[in-house]
Structure 1
Amino acid sequence: MSIYFYSLGAAEEVTGSKHIIEVDGRMILVDCGAFQGRRAEADEKNRNFEVPADKMDAVVLTHAHYDHCGLLPLLGLKGFNGNIYATPATRDLANIIMMDSARIQARDAEYLQKQARKHGQEFSWRPLYNEQDAINTTNQIITISYRRPTWITPNILLEFFDAGHILGSAMALITVTDGEGNTKKIACTGDLGRKGKAIIRDPEILPPADYIVLESTYGDRLHETTEDALAKLADVATKAIKMNGKIVIPAFAIERTQELVYYFHVLVDRKIIPEIPIFVDSPMAVNATSIFQVHPECYDEATHEAFIKHHKNPFGFNSLRFVTSVEESKSLNEMEGPMIIISADGMCEAGRITHHLANTIGDPCNQILIVGYMAEHTLGRRILNREMEVRIFNQWYNVRAEITQINAFSAHADYQEATDWLQSMDTSGLKRIFMVHGEPEVQVVFKDHLEENGFKSVQIVKYGEHYEL
């Protein structure tokens, strides 16, 4: 039985997750995500699609974030016509993500073409895929609920366990058998979540595995607690009320937006802050929120109690408004504070958030609240680094708004949480940890930490390098 593991994305970097398990020539792809970062560089990487799509036997999708599912339509365009396995909630959310990406690409192409014509320039950029391609991909997704072992090839068994990262997120336990009773178990964490997150359950403890493919996004830092986050969120809201300012929050449309809405609901419900107008300005977030409401199988106990037993909807309280039209979105710029605007894209590279930042970042009465990971070379990272000037829509803006960061909302485990999770498992038979999804200097710190805690065989995965299992 010949088994190899290698990565074609998220190897010594955070985005573009693509990992291949090859068993006696059969190929299983775990995730097929888009690269994010500098626009030109990310676009080039996404176009240089090196996955041998026509040779893949199956795809396993751990969750619906763009850097894990965003290039799935390219597989079909490159010849893959097999099954994509995901949880029911992941299928629904991935459909939204892919369709939204296709629409954004179409709008970008139209805009860039107009700009090129205006300046008498040649224009050759084309979208990676269109809406029909995204629909075709969704039709390839086969849903599997948590803890329902399913054969995805004659000798490969797949079982999903809750990753506690976003709604529907899963860790994939892949069992390879040679038909003679010999097995090897490979666990892929996807993105490992955290205990105590709102709405969703904690990460599950996996059965013993021979190999673990482990994410390392926050392998060099510790997060704040939920109570710390609530206190800081209350401080930010109180300051906005005092200054009549706006709080602009770049947030991913899936999970982070719903989590923030939930926490503001808690603060108002506990009478810690007065009601303050909250605008969720993201059509995708509106659609995603409706999906949250139809997947109670993913809820933690508190959310289950609220929805099922008490019929209280933390996604629909009085001061909350969902913004869908462009006209409504533009009108927010004319409105006086105090108010909270939660908008996508989470890394500030595209979408309506860029317009809100352009309109608020120069006013010291306003606050920009960073609540998630910002990849290198993104506008979000430059704001987080508190650069004095940032460029938005090819114009330079002085940064006068207050920049605040709350780490507790991260959906990724920090180094101690990941270590605690590993130590809670039976790792007596663990042969090696493959470390993916992290910036190189972060991974070195995390590797040292794991080794100090008894995990001696840790491999930082290199792009394209094959590892025999």
Structure 2
Amino acid sequence: MPLSSPSQPNNTGSIKLSFHGANQAVTGSCHLLEAGGLRIVVDCGLHQGGRDADERNAAPFGFDPSSVDVLVLTHAHLDHCGRLPLLVKRGFKGRIVCTEATRELARLVLLDAAHLQEEEAQYQQRKLQRRGENRDAPVLYSVVDALRSFDCFAPGLAYGEAHALNNSVSVTLHNAGHILGAASAEFQIQTEQGARRILLSGDIGPQHPALLLPPKPPGQCDVVVMETTYGDRLHRPLQPSIDELYQVIEETWHRGGNVVIPTFALERAQELLNVLRMGVEQHNIPRGMQIFLDSPMAISATEIFKRYADQFCEPVQAMLTRGEDPFSWSGVHNLRESSQSQALNQIKSGAIILAGAGMCNGGRVRHHLRHNLWRPACAVVFVGFAAQGTLARRIIDGARTVHLFGEEIPVAAQVHTINGFSAHADQADLLTWHAATGKPMDTVLVHGESAAMNALAERLPNTTVHRPEQGDELRI
């Protein structure tokens, strides 16, 4: 089934998939499924990284939002849900379907994103006024838009339960193992030629995660759309990664510096807190180190995590069942107020600072980089994916200086990349996951950079592989 260029809306009774984000790239996931008389969007994420990200986020979706009946949200990361308020602002009036945990986390993420959008618009407005320009700075969406989008969320679905969207189409969400509540969406579609099963992976977690249960693909499918973030590499095993983190912390302690860890608020922050707790209990972290979670969103997300004990691996599940807290102990300081965050600037050594955002494209971590990145005694530890064009990627790729708050900051701190903590499947995990879907006729690769996508494509037998460009279509 070859890919084709965009055409008119599907009124023929056939099945059509079109691709409107995360095509040959890692952010901005958005796909449109037309089947059984329904127009179904799967994910609606923000584009992140690169100079044109703002333009891409403000651009038309590639379809009419008011014509969409259902949006299926695979998980609550910003690059999958971040344009939902904009979709509603531009006319979407349908249902948003996801797991209950995703519904809770998405509200948190979207409110935070809306606040950031408003703050950015206010900043741009002040710049216009200083230049004497009498016009308003555009805002992608507001807090009010985010609140309006919450009205579209349907009650959360449980994993493994088929949910009828109409008489011809049902959706079943399967545990994707990526973050709390993350799901792969399986659509079962009745056609004149028989039933068709189409699976969109969302983001897939590793087969041996540190915190959550592993992913659970549904079995034989006809068409699979899957992410390829790490399609060209293998992750380091988890335990050596944990050991390396402990070693970096100890070495930085002896140098008299701080450890700054840019941290995604959902899953990565909680995973690291659990690992640091074990390090303290096992005396692998110096007793004098102080741990700061400097992320209001991560603090709130952690409270949500604690309500879903059944989604964690056995040791964490057992702790939560006993009423113990794997994410908080006497050595952890949760910082909600900006004044508390600013006070960290006075601490020159002995601090482990977990702060968002993970790609360093916003959030409090940028302030901590400004105060620690130029100091040889300090360490900056990256434990997640960094997209092209982000500050994190520039530091990882060896930039000697970076631009922060109007200054050129030298990169003199020790920079470490420890990829064993990734919440994404590596190449071996992706191949295992794909093999569990049987022998699909077509496999569509999305959410990956070209090198990763091409490397995975070479390892997929007995299926026709597609790598769509923006707006491409696949008729089934």
- Decide: shared fold, TM above 0.5: yes
Please show how residues 223-262 of structure 1 align to structure 2 within 5 Å: 223-262=235-274
SS at 2:443's partner residue?
strand
Amino acid at match of 2:446: V
Q: Which residues of structure 2 form unaligned runs of 5+? A: 1-12
- Alpha-carbon deviations, 1:314-356, whole Å to 9, x = none? 1111111111111110000111311111111111111111111
Task: Check whether the contact 1:5–1:19 (CA below 8 A) recurs between aligned residues.
Answer: yes
For residues 33 and 192 of structure 1, what CA distance do their matches in structure 2 show?
16
Q: How many residues are treated as equivalent by the alignment?
A: 461
Q: Deviation of residue 49 (structure 1)?
A: 2.5
SS at 1:33's partner residue?
coil
SS at 1:166's partner residue?
coil
Q: Deviation of residue 274 (structure 1)?
A: 2.9
- Alpha-carbon deviations, 1:118-152, whole Å to 9, x = none? 34345542221111211221221111111111012
Is 2:291 the counterpart of 1:284? no
Q: Deviation of residue 460 (structure 1)?
A: 1.1
Please show how residues 95-134 of structure 1 align to structure 2 within 5 Å: 95-121=107-133, 124-134=136-146
Out of 416, 427, 433, the residue aligned to residue 443 of structure 2 is: 433
For residues 47 and 123 of structure 2, what CA distance do their matches in structure 1 show?
22
Q: Tell me which residue corresponds to 2:234.
A: 222
Q: Deviation of residue 426 (structure 1)?
A: 5.1
Q: Deviation of residue 277 (structure 1)?
A: 0.8
- Alpha-carbon deviations, 1:30-72, whole Å to 9, x = none? 000010012x511110110223211111010000000000001
For residues 314 and 193 of structure 2, what CA distance do their matches in structure 1 show?
39
* Greater Cα offset, 266-275 or 354-363: 266-275
For residues 67 and 124 of structure 1, what CA distance do their matches in structure 2 show?
27
Is 2:368 the counterpart of 1:356? yes
Q: Tell me which residue corresponds to 1:155.
A: 168
Task: Check whether the contact 2:19–2:468 (CA below 8 A) recurs between aligned residues.
Answer: yes
SS at 2:52's partner residue?
helix
TM-score w.r.t. length of structure 2: 0.94
Please show how residues 309-328 of structure 1 align to structure 2 within 5 Å: 310-328=322-340
Amino acid at match of 1:70: G
SS at 1:135's partner residue?
helix
- Alpha-carbon deviations, 1:143-184, whole Å to 9, x = none? 111111101233110101100000000011111113x68210
Is 2:26 the counterpart of 1:14? yes
For residues 377 and 116 of structure 2, what CA distance do their matches in structure 1 show?
32
TM-score w.r.t. length of structure 1: 0.95
Out of 459, 464, 469, the residue aligned to residue 462 of structure 1 is: 469
Q: Tell me which residue corresponds to 2:42.
A: 30
For residues 117 and 347 of structure 1, what CA distance do their matches in structure 2 show?
31
Root-mean-square deviation over aligned CA pairs: 1.5
Q: Which residues of structure 1 form unaligned runs of 5+? A: none
For residues 463 and 41 of structure 2, what CA distance do their matches in structure 1 show?
27
Task: Check whether the contact 1:102–1:127 (CA below 8 A) recurs between aligned residues.
Answer: no
Q: Deviation of residue 194 (structure 1)?
A: 0.7
Amino acid at match of 2:127: Q
Task: Check whether the contact 1:240–1:339 (CA below 8 A) recurs between aligned residues.
Answer: no
Q: What percent identity do the matched residue pairs reach? A: 34
Out of 27, 42, 56, the residue aligned to residue 53 of structure 2 is: 42
Is 2:276 the counterpart of 1:264? yes
SS at 1:333's partner residue?
helix
Is 2:427 the counterpart of 1:420? no
For residues 220 and 111 of structure 2, what CA distance do their matches in structure 1 show?
37
Amino acid at match of 1:299: F
For residues 18 and 243 of structure 1, what CA distance do their matches in structure 2 show?
46
Aligned structure 1 segments of 4 or more residues deviating by more than 3 angstroms? 118-124
For residues 110 and 474 of structure 2, what CA distance do their matches in structure 1 show?
31
Distance change in 2, residues 1:140/1:356 (3 Å): same
Q: Tell me which residue corresponds to 1:442.
A: 452
Distance change in 2, residues 1:122/1:382 (3 Å): farther
Task: Check whether the contact 1:57–1:153 (CA below 8 A) recurs between aligned residues.
Answer: no
For residues 309 and 100 of structure 2, what CA distance do their matches in structure 1 show?
11
Please show how residues 364-403 of structure 1 align to structure 2 within 5 Å: 364-403=376-415
Q: Deviation of residue 296 (structure 1)?
A: 2.0
Task: Check whether the contact 1:213–1:436 (CA below 8 A) recurs between aligned residues.
Answer: yes
For residues 363 and 122 of structure 1, what CA distance do their matches in structure 2 show?
43
Distance change in 2, residues 1:174/1:456 (3 Å): closer
For residues 158 and 258 of structure 1, what CA distance do their matches in structure 2 show?
30
Is 2:79 the counterpart of 1:67? yes
For residues 297 and 129 of structure 1, what CA distance do their matches in structure 2 show?
35
Q: Deviation of residue 24 (structure 1)?
A: 5.2
SS at 1:368's partner residue?
strand
